[in-house]
């Protein structure tokens, strides 16, 4: 099998019922929110197994009701620390299979390794689809400089907007007539794009090689806009971030941050690095495989801020940091300047 065929391509049964379990923190429901925001036409409704669970604002449906409305699968839209399938979820998962829905998940714990689900799926003649399963045969990295151009979203932490940033930038590039592809590196991005590489499921020695496979040689004017994973400063997930940085060989990085977040999500003993530290470390380590790497700007997740305060923050941070600062979801002139700078080729 050639390396070009090693990125996952999906043919998921659509549309979906999105399962939220008993998750109360939106930071652990990135898959559900990502699908709602970037593939709304595929999302029939939501299901939770706790009254305290977060909501997507979609119709609350049982598996049978969702099936009656045309749903063909239920996607587990949440991921806890460690990616485990919880016992409290099992009745809902079994109900979905009994109602005629396939199950789709991107958890570290695979559906296919859960005997109760395997037995139920066989009984109801349904499929268990595990997205977070890299194909065999991923090579180690070569470090060879590839043709084409690449942009990588990096961050000060997890779950603060790297996927949304990459999707927004890829869309903006295309709107300007630039040949560009979004390259997914996590389960949600893969579900949205239909293909990609589940980087955090790749054995460490092959991380950089997987990133090379994900963004192969391309035409000189083509851009691969690559979804980032983790953070170089994260005490648990820095390894995947470094492998992705080295293997993707980005010409441009965009640093993602959530104003107001002071500590690593779920690890209060670890303060977040500053944006300046994040730019500096990514550029220093990125130069190992691309000496010409540069920072295209900063993406701020200002979803918790009022409009006026967000716009004022963009201006102040841009002046302080010397690069464009924007929230891609808010858009506006600030985001257009960020896109200009990413495409400008300036050092």
Contact 181, 240 (CB under 8 A): no
Mean pLDDT of 112-137: 94
Using pLDDT thresholds of 50, 70 and 90, give the confidence band for residue 2: very low
pLDDT by residue (tens digit) across 271-294? 999 999 999 999 999 999 999 999
Mean pLDDT of 97-102: 98
Q: How far is CA 329 from CA 10, 155, 171, in A?
A: 26, 16, 11
Using pLDDT thresholds of 50, 70 and 90, give the confidence band for residue 316: very high
**What sign results for the dihedral spanned by CA atoms 25, 29, 34, 35?**
negative
Instruction: Report the distance separating Cα 305 and Cα 205, nearest Å.
Output: 40
Using pLDDT thresholds of 50, 70 and 90, give the confidence band for residue 5: low
Q: Is the pLDDT of residue 56 over 90?
A: yes
Q: Is the pLDDT of residue 209 over 80?
A: yes
* Mean pLDDT, rounded, of the chain: 94
Q: Is the pLDDT of residue 235 over 70?
A: yes
> Which CATH superfamily groups domain 149-344?
P-loop containing nucleotide triphosphate hydrolases (3.40.50.300)
The whole-number pLDDT of residue 194 equals: 84
pLDDT by residue (tens digit) across 60-86? 999 999 999 999 999 999 987 667 889
Share of the chain above pLDDT 70, in %: 97
Q: Is the pLDDT of residue 347 over 50?
A: no
Mean pLDDT of 193-209: 93
Mean pLDDT of 175-198: 93
pLDDT by residue (tens digit) across 294-303? 999 999 999 9
- DSSP secondary structure, 97-164, as one string: HHTT-EEEE--SS-GGG-HHHHHHHHHHT--EEESS-PPTTPPPP--PPPSSEEEEEEESSSSSSHHH
Instruction: Report the distance separating Cα 41 and Cα 51, nearest Å.
Output: 26
Instruction: Report the distance separating Cα 266 and Cα 182, nearest Å.
Output: 28
Q: Select the CATH number that applies to the domain covering 3-130 from these four: 1.20.1440.20, 3.40.50.720, 3.40.50.12780, 3.20.20.70.
A: 3.40.50.720
Where are the domains positioned within the chain?
A: 3-130, 149-344
Q: Is the pLDDT of residue 1 over 50?
A: no
The whole-number pLDDT of residue 210 equals: 96
Opening angle at CA 294, ends 279 and 166, nearest 5: 75
Contact 38, 192 (CB under 8 A): yes
216: left (phi over 0), alpha (psi -120 to 50) or beta: beta
């Amino acid at each position: 099998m050639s390396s070009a065929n090693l990125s996952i391509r999906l043919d998921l049964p659509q549309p979906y019922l999105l399962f939220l379990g008993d998750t109360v923190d939106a930071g652990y429901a990135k898959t559900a929110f990502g699908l709602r925001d970037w593939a709304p036409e595929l999302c029939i409704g939501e299901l939770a197994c706790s009254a305290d669970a977060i909501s997507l604002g979609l119709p609350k449906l049982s598996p049978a009701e969702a099936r009656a409305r045309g749903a063909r699968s239920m996607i587990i839209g949440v991921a806890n620390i460690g990616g485990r399938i919880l016992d409290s979820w099992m009745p809902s998962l079994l109900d979905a299979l009994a109602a005629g829905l396939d199950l789709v998940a991107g958890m570290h714990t695979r559906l296919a390794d859960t005997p109760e689900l395997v037995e139920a799926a066989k009984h109801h003649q349904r499929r268990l689809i595990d997205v977070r399963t890299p194909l065999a045969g991923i090579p180690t990295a070569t470090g060879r400089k590839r043709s084409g151009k690449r942009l990588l979203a990096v961050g000060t932490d997890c779950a603060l907007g790297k996927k949304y940033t990459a999707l927004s930038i890829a869309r903006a590039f295309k709107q300007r007539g630039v040949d560009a592809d979004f390259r997914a590196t996590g389960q949600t991005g893969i579900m949205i794009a239909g293909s990609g590489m589940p980087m955090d499921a790749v054995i460490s020695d092959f991380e950089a090689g997987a990133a090379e496979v994900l963004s192969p040689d391309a035409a000189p004017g083509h851009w691969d806009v690559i979804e980032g994973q983790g953070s170089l400063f994260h005490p648990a997930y820095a390894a995947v971030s470094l492998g992705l940085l080295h293997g993707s060989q980005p010409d441009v990085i965009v640093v993602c941050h959530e104003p107001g977040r002071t500590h690593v999500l779920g690890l209060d003993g670890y303060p977040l690095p500053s944006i300046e530290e994040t730019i500096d470390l990514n550029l220093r380590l990125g130069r190992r495989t691309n000496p010409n790497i540069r920072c295209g700007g900063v993406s701020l997740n200002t979803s918790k801020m009022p409009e006026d305060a967000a716009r004022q923050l963009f201006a102040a941070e841009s002046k302080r940091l010397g690069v464009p600062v924007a929230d891609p979801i808010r858009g506006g002139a600030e985001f257009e300047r960020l896109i200009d700078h990413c495409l400008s080729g300036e050092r």
